[in-house]
Structure 1
Amino acid sequence: MKNFANLIKALDSSNKTTVKVDALTEYFRHASDQDKVWTIAILSHRRPARPVNTTLLRLWANELAAIPLWLFEESYHIVGDLAETIALIIPATKAHSDKSLSEYLHEMIALKAKTDEQKREYLHENWLALNYYERFVFTKLITGSFRIGVSQKLMTRALSKATGVDEDALAYKLMGNWNPGTITFQELILDEKSSDYLSKPYPFYLAYQIDGDVAVLGHPEEWAVEHKWDGIRSQTIIRDGEIYVWSRGEELVTDKYPEFQSFVGVIPDGTVIDGEILPFPNGEIGTFNDLQTRIGRKTVSKDLLAKTPVVIKAYDLLEWEGRDLRESAYDERRQLLEQLLDNVKGRGLPLQLSESVVMDSWDKITAERMRAREMRSEGLMIKRRSSTYQVGRKKGDWWKWKIEPLVIDAVLTYAMRGSGRRANLFTDYTFALWQTDEHGGRELVTFAKAYSGLTDAEFRKVDDWIKKNTLERFGPVRSVTPQLVFEIGFEGIALSKRHKSGVATRFPRILRWRVDKKIEEANSIEDLKNMIV
């Protein structure tokens, strides 16, 4: 654990990519093989399930610190991170543990099945056996929310430097369904096994956002254009008579979409399709809100399948007849994809082609972008016709040109402290819009939360105002005098029975502080609903 904690400390103490890569490389060269595997798993979001809930963690840490619970809670709201708070408030100790990272993680996995008293004893014993930073990392692992500023791409680069294995090959090896508790470093990284190939997806190629004039890309004829669909990015793999559906988050989601089993026996083995899983109720593309009724369900009922069927909008072909097509030009891959869909037309498969938008000028392409919401898309994808299918986010060949956000003026009604460097400021806001009741009166109804979009100076100014205008406190939440108006932007909108406002917004964020407006000028829930296409 000591070596892993020192690694996390080094990663956390610098924003420089070279420093992070060097620290990781050095760690991978000297750590035990078991610890290497667990480190790879942790940094690629394969953490064990949380063995203790946060309520008990707070209670037991408070016992050990021997301070009033209110003081612990207030400290937590100021620090903004539970693991860091616990590491700070528990008394310092000179005790030391020689247990490795992998030993600790195996103990944490076993801890889940133990009684509360056994869990309490285990935590007290280990909190007192570790120094501050080791205790912080240990608690992070217990909470299951281990996040640090290291992308999987950066980790893969360091692993490549340490092992000599090609970065793209490593990216491929780390995809798929492997278990850090059972696989060895040799099997995961160093060995080449044909059986591993069967279910593994390829690393996804990601696009950069276009900011500014799209005409800087050159002649439109050099680019393929299609709509950017608002669903779940996926790869559908058909090999050896089996189908595997992977999300971009490297989650195997085959069982969640039983509709796609119909591909087996119709689409040839050795096929990998890159596309978007979209809701398709009533024979047309639905909203992301519709898709959320399918996301996270362990079992999909017949009623849900009938109410919210799904389709795949296919936009790339990565493998055909067992041949890796990623080094082929986009136009070549696209031609094969269109042939594939022509061959299975009329077979009733939930598979559609993401149609190309054929335009001879940027003005016409711009006009098509304006139709995005009507098409239930987020904007346009612009791909160089000669481009290969690369790994990760590479600038130059694939671009996303999203539509301008929907905008509405809303009133600040609640606030919470932020996290990280903003843990001592109120930066997480809840906003409301006007609603007219049956008697003609107006009340403010909450509709969205947002915590980004203001400058540091603006956040400090709003924080000062919140502290002076608090009406009530509900734990970490403060209700404030309805006085400040903010312009809120969001990507999409849909009716929702789960929200008091009756509307769900997608990716809300603050665009600007409307110091020029009074709350009477803020928009209404009706205005919001009128934006639904």
Structure 2
Amino acid sequence: MISDSFPELVSAGESFNEDVLLDGEIIAYKDSIEPFEQLQRRLGRKQPSKNMLHKVPVRFIAYDILERNGKDLRKESLKVRRNHLEQFIHQHQLDRVMISDTIKMDTWSHLVDLHKQSRQYHAEGFMIKSIESQYREGRKRGDWWKWKVNPMTVDAVLLYANRGSGRRANLYSDYTFAVWSSDDKESRTLLPFAKAYSGLTDKEITEVDKFVKKNTKERFGPVRSVVPQLVMEIGFEDIRKSTRHKSGFAVRFPRIMRWRKDKPLDEIDSMDRLQYLLDDKQGGG
């Protein structure tokens, strides 16, 4: 249970004068939706301080309604459920509970243009739903379609490796990747910018493990620094400035997209690429 982390939402729910079951999401929200990293500051905090409640206010954004006053609405069409949800939100008028926006499009090209702006609103894309769809459990396909934006990508080099966990406990399968500090070949150095644990096949992980063991430069407990040679394409959902990271950037959900065996160390990306991705996101590109 995460109720203790969000007492203001518990209070909002207790003010309902009818029984409902809502499908939605907790978001950090000030004048608009805040980045996910802000919400992470509240997660896991039991009895957050007044200062934290003030610095990181949250809201519940409702996407759907599954039950109302004992009536199961899951078999009803989305059109009917949406009417119930809009009625409920209108009747309660709570600051902490809001309803998701719906987008009506005239043309597919219009929707494509809006999709390109997703990151400006700290969104991963769209959920496209049939107006006649029921609310189905599990990963049912056909009525709902999650249209995510393509990940941002950077070509980076493996700099550190750590042993994994579980069935990978004996393999070096947790990696730290670096990019060049600049494009100036005379003065540039390698700067770590992201850790990634997923994306490679078992065969590729075994291959990397052998490389790590044969090309270790230094050991720091369970971590090994390696000869910078293995280049990977790293994908992630978002990027932001960060004073906590040596590179000055933090990325969200980094993972390995592919092993770039065709690319040498000299041709990996630099900090300029990270800055470009940040600027492009903020500009809505």
Indicate whether the TM-score tops 0.5: yes
What whole-Å deviation, never above 9, does each CA across 1:235-288 have from its counterpart, x for those lacking one?
Answer: xxxxxxxxxxxxxxxx2x22211222453575322122211111113x111111
Is residue 298 of structure 1 aligned with residue 46 of structure 2? yes
Decide whether the 8 Å contact of 1:270 with 1:323 is kept in 2: no
Aligned residues: 276
What whole-Å deviation, never above 9, does each CA across 1:281-338 have from its counterpart, x for those lacking one?
Answer: 3x11111111110011112111111111111111111222332222221110111111
> Rg: which structure is higher?
1
Relative distance call for 1:415 and 1:328 in structure 2 (3 A) is: same
Relative distance call for 1:419 and 1:254 in structure 2 (3 A) is: closer
* AA in 1 matched with 2:85: L
Is residue 276 of structure 1 aligned with residue 25 of structure 2? yes
Is residue 432 of structure 1 aligned with residue 212 of structure 2? no
Match of 1:267 in 2: 16
SS in 1 for 2:179: strand
Relative distance call for 1:270 and 1:464 in structure 2 (3 A) is: same
Match of 2:77 in 1: 329
Match of 2:133 in 1: 387
Decide whether the 8 Å contact of 1:268 with 1:321 is kept in 2: no
Match of 2:7 in 1: 258
Q: 4+ residue runs of structure 1 moved beyond 4 angstroms? A: 419-424
Shift of 1:511: 1.0
Alpha-carbon separation, structure 1, partners of 2:276 and 2:176: 21
SS in 2 for 1:336: helix
Decide whether the 8 Å contact of 2:27 with 2:58 is kept in 1: yes
Q: Mind listing any 5+ residue stretches in structure 2 that lack a counterpart?
A: none
Decide whether the 8 Å contact of 2:171 with 2:209 is kept in 1: yes
Higher relative contact order (CA 8 A, sep 6+): 2
Is residue 470 of structure 1 aligned with residue 219 of structure 2? no
What whole-Å deviation, never above 9, does each CA across 1:360-417 have from its counterpart, x for those lacking one?
Answer: 4433333322221112111111222222222333233232121110101111101123
Alpha-carbon separation, structure 1, partners of 2:238 and 2:191: 19
Match of 2:104 in 1: 358
Relative distance call for 1:526 and 1:350 in structure 2 (3 A) is: farther
SS in 2 for 1:267: coil
Alpha-carbon separation, structure 2, partners of 1:311 and 1:292: 14
What whole-Å deviation, never above 9, does each CA across 1:99-134 have from its counterpart, x for those lacking one?
Answer: xxxxxxxxxxxxxxxxxxxxxxxxxxxxxxxxxxxx
67, 70, 75: which is aligned to 1:319? Answer: 67
Matches within 5 A, 1:142-157: none
Relative distance call for 1:529 and 1:306 in structure 2 (3 A) is: farther
Matches within 5 A, 1:31-46: none
Decide whether the 8 Å contact of 2:28 with 2:56 is kept in 1: yes
SS in 2 for 1:531: helix
Give the structure with the higher percent strand: 2
Aligned alpha-carbon RMSD (Å) = 2.3
Give the structure with the higher percent helix: 1
Alpha-carbon separation, structure 2, partners of 1:269 and 1:387: 25
Shift of 1:452: 2.2
Relative distance call for 1:317 and 1:442 in structure 2 (3 A) is: same
Match of 1:400 in 2: 146
* AA in 2 matched with 1:499: H
Relative distance call for 1:431 and 1:385 in structure 2 (3 A) is: same
Decide whether the 8 Å contact of 1:287 with 1:494 is kept in 2: no
Match of 1:288 in 2: 36
Alpha-carbon separation, structure 2, partners of 1:488 and 1:396: 30
Match of 2:118 in 1: 372
Relative distance call for 1:529 and 1:286 in structure 2 (3 A) is: farther
* AA in 1 matched with 2:59: V
Match of 1:498 in 2: 244
208, 228, 236: which is aligned to 1:482? Answer: 228
SS in 1 for 2:218: strand
Decide whether the 8 Å contact of 1:452 with 1:509 is kept in 2: yes
Relative distance call for 1:519 and 1:273 in structure 2 (3 A) is: same
Q: Mind listing any 5+ residue stretches in structure 1 that lack a counterpart?
A: 1-250
Alpha-carbon separation, structure 2, partners of 1:521 and 1:259: 50
Identity of aligned residues (%): 50
* AA in 1 matched with 2:40: Q
Shift of 1:491: 1.2
